[in-house]
Amino acid sequence: MMEVSILWGSQTGNAQNLAHLIGDSLAGEFSVRVMDMGLVDPEEIFGMKALVVVTSTYGDGEPPDNASEWMSFLKFEESLDLSRLHYAVIGLGDTYYPHFCQAGKDFDHYLSKHGAHSMLGRLDCDLYYEEQYPDWVKELKSVLKNRVLD
């Protein structure tokens, strides 16, 4: 059974909740690990084949506190080769703020920059993510089922 790692970065708990909802919807068909980014060494990315990043944005477009080490790792490590990694990003935000979903956009950018393969387009969710994520997760599930990740 293919393993899917779901990492969450959350300041208030919304991204954490959403990560667990996504994990629950993938469980049964995939081996799913839902983890707090702050408790996972960024070097573990080299052992992952399928990664889902669920993150909110904090302050002026910054990642949440528990995601800052991962963001720095991806941003400043020049020679990362993530070409074996397939990923998807879902960002939570509020369109009222000028840096709407910036942390999600940044994770998407840096993963791609280091050669990781996006499985589907990033989803930037406004306040009512409960209404926005289900179709994205259905598409993710379909991609995971139909793609050989080796």
By C-alpha distance, which of 21, 39, 93 is closest to 61?
A: 93
Name the CA dihedral angle for 23, 29, 144, 104, rounded to a multiple of 10 degrees.
0
pLDDT of residue 149: 54
CA distances from 142 to 16, 52, 137, 145 (A): 23, 14, 9, 5
pLDDT at 150: 45
Domains of the chain: 3-146 (3.40.50.360)
Using a 10 angstrom Cβ sphere, with 0-12 exposed, 13-18 middle and 19 or more buried, the burial of residue 95 is exposed
Question: Per residue of the chain (150 residues), what is the pLDDT tens digit?
Answer: 889 999 999 999 999 999 999 999 999 899 999 999 999 999 999 999 999 999 999 988 999 999 999 999 999 998 899 999 999 999 999 999 899 999 999 999 999 999 999 999 999 999 888 889 999 999 999 999 987 554
Full-model pTM: 0.96
Residue 47 phi/psi, 5-degree rounding, is: -95, 0
| CB contact set of 39 (below 8 Å; sequence gap of 6+) | 66
